[in-house]
Structure 1
């Protein structure tokens, strides 16, 4: 058996049957779309939650069965009937001032999804978390899973995702193990999140390097995240958290410049002192609070914390406990983006099950 490409065929406990039907929340999103591609290619049946007809059409095109429903409705348990595993990938990822809706989606939504999964007889769940649960604006240097949650999270996204992770892991039991994965800076082919935002910022002249952009960042190619989800289903222990990355960290400026260059964009040379950016972010928080969100602000402490300081992660635990090894290198992922951008035939990838 090729564990790297078909980890769902492995037996999770040594006694239980392989997972054959998986329910995915956030199926029409960037991570969800690629998870559907991965599991469908490996022969696993997928049911994906869809809030709109457009989302339903998208997941059907990818080979999944669409279940029309809302993340905040317990009725989603009906869509999980017959499924034996869950991947909870849906989240409100806005890095702005935050809204009550973000808390409801991330925290209440996770609670409802986990309760529905247990009611439906799901045997194992994977919760897609984020390294941002540790973000407070200070550098995170080679941190591992023992790092505590900060007393003052960077913003609403960090706060609500930390709450969601706690909810997910609190639902874990021997009969219903829940595993949390924390990827950082998810990127790659079909990216509808980070790369489009960077391209727009560069083209509009709004992109500048903070303190030169030389600080390190960890990254997670979408294929590597799909690999990690499959391995977590097979080998992850309930109640545990695992960081997932591409391996060694890279200077933020180097990586973002490489991403932009795959789209034919020359990276900017502008640099802004970190103190200035921090002050602008603090001011944005104050203005957003005073206006109760009515005024759009250019930067928040949440955005600052995830892009202006070093965030490098230790994936030793995932390697040891899950058998995780990145299946695509950073350079291979960049090559793929270049070929997609130029319309050339796609390059060979070591884990085609993880890719479109």
Structure 2
């Protein structure tokens, strides 16, 4: 594979993607705002460029040297109470970043742009059967705030821009929400909070498989097509927690809270996301020939828990 230009390469999925690129000895240029992070990437043998998509800079020349793009970057939000105002600021930043990137790509030299969105774009799937990327619903949670970015892609595709869109479901790994919401409380014998009266299905995917799928779609994704990134088996939060408990050999304490209190703590956006079914199928991705390192959460949760525990010393 030719050189890949990566945005968001020092984030949650990006960190796993960088490791996959190093392991498979591929060539990549990683865009980062941080000089320190750029130096760290170079020390690992990768090419890095310091810059911001919203500002002109040397990243534009580096982008022109690449034949593939993986766009992971988005305005940071994790760990915050997400008010409607914050979500609207996120939406504007997300859309502007999308336009800035696509407007600086030469349609004649690029082979594929793997654009990473999210399944919140599809809204509540219901629990009756798994949904594919052709499912139509009202966006929920973050969905309304990425919808403009996703919808504008069709305009560029019609102009000949080679774009493959990926919608990761619930990405779990040793960082972000999984330790914060489940592993740390159980390990420290503190309560795990759940929404009273809600037990929606969600479709998980290990962060390593998310990164591997991004790379896979560079060469194998069909231009103009959409793919759901999830593993083979959806499950509920309670079932997910049981897997973590089994690996830690500890029993967690669940404390149910009402929806109004969740909205007060997390804000309306994350509360809406937490109460929606995100029940998807990976059929299209598997039909392309993608194989999973962790086909289900039963396979992946032990890896994540062990990784997290090892960091505790």
Task: Give the structure-1-normalised TM-score.
Answer: 0.74
* Larger deviation, residues 178-187 vs 160-169: 160-169
Query: Of residues 212, 216, 227 in structure 2, which corresponds to 1:231?
Result: 216
Instruction: Identify the residue that residue 94 of structure 1 maps to in structure 2.
Output: 77
Instruction: Identify the residue that residue 126 of structure 1 maps to in structure 2.
Output: 114
Q: Do the aligned partners of 1:138 and 1:305 also contact (CA within 8 Å) in 2?
A: no
Q: Do the aligned partners of 2:112 and 2:219 also contact (CA within 8 Å) in 1?
A: no
* Larger deviation, residues 228-237 vs 111-120: 111-120
| Residues 207-242 of structure 1, C-alpha deviations (whole Å, 9 max, x = no match) | 322246643211011222123222211221111111
Q: Do the aligned partners of 2:132 and 2:228 also contact (CA within 8 Å) in 1?
A: yes
Query: 2: CA distance between counterparts of 1:132 and 1:116?
Result: 27
**CA apart distance, 1:37:** 1.4
SS in structure 1 at match of 2:45 = coil
Alignment of 1:1-356 (within 5 A): 19-75=1-57, 76-92=59-75, 94=77, 96-97=82-83, 98-99=85-86, 100-118=88-106, 121-135=109-123, 142-150=130-138, 153-155=139-141, 157-172=142-157, 176-188=161-173, 191-198=174-181, 199=183, 207-211=192-196, 214-259=199-244, 262=247, 266-272=251-257, 276-277=258-259, 279-280=260-261, 284=263, 297-320=264-287, 322-329=288-295, 330-343=297-310
Compared CA separation, residues 261 and 104, structure 1 to 2 (3 A): farther
Compared CA separation, residues 230 and 221, structure 1 to 2 (3 A): same
* Larger deviation, residues 87-96 vs 65-74: 87-96
**CA apart distance, 1:310:** 2.4
Q: Do the aligned partners of 1:80 and 1:122 also contact (CA within 8 Å) in 2?
A: no
Query: 2: CA distance between counterparts of 1:135 and 1:94?
Result: 19
SS in structure 1 at match of 2:39 = helix
**CA apart distance, 1:341:** 3.8
Q: Do the aligned partners of 2:124 and 2:277 also contact (CA within 8 Å) in 1?
A: no
Query: 2: CA distance between counterparts of 1:306 and 1:71?
Result: 28
Q: Do the aligned partners of 1:154 and 1:301 also contact (CA within 8 Å) in 2?
A: no
Q: Do the aligned partners of 2:245 and 2:251 also contact (CA within 8 Å) in 1?
A: yes
* Larger deviation, residues 33-42 vs 111-120: 111-120
Compared CA separation, residues 161 and 62, structure 1 to 2 (3 A): farther
Task: Give the structure-2-normalised TM-score.
Answer: 0.84
Unmatched 5+ stretches in structure 2: none
Q: Do the aligned partners of 2:71 and 2:114 also contact (CA within 8 Å) in 1?
A: yes
**CA apart distance, 1:91:** 1.3
Unmatched 5+ stretches in structure 1: 1-18, 285-296, 345-356
**CA apart distance, 1:323:** 1.9
Query: 2: CA distance between counterparts of 1:263 and 1:70?
Result: 41
**CA apart distance, 1:261:** 6.0
Which 4+ runs in 1 deviate beyond 3 A? 136-141, 173-176, 199-207, 211-215, 259-266, 341-344
| Residues 277-310 of structure 1, C-alpha deviations (whole Å, 9 max, x = no match) | 1x446xx4xxxxxxxxxxxx41333212322232
